Amino acid sequence: MLASVKMEHSKKLDPEITAQLRKLAHDLSNSIETVIQASYLLNQTKLDAQSKKWARMIEAAADEAAHINRGIREVLRSQSSKSQASSQEKTAKRRAS
Burial of 81 (0-12, 13-18, 19+ CB in 10 A): exposed
Secondary structure element (H or E) that encloses residue 29, with its range: helix 15-43
Alpha-carbon span 40 to 56, nearest angstrom: 9
Lowest mean pLDDT among 19-33, 62-76, 83-97: 83-97
- pLDDT tens column, 3-34: 455 545 457 888 899 999 999 999 999 999 99
Average pLDDT over residues 78-85: 71
Q: What is the reported pLDDT for 7?
A: 42
Alpha-carbon span 6 to 59, nearest angstrom: 27
- pLDDT tens column, 34-61: 999 999 999 999 999 999 999 999 999 9
Q: Do 66 and 28 form a contact (C-beta atoms < 8 A)?
A: no
More reliable by pLDDT, 49 or 87: 49
Q: What is the reported pLDDT for 11?
A: 74
Alpha-carbon span 27 to 22, nearest angstrom: 9
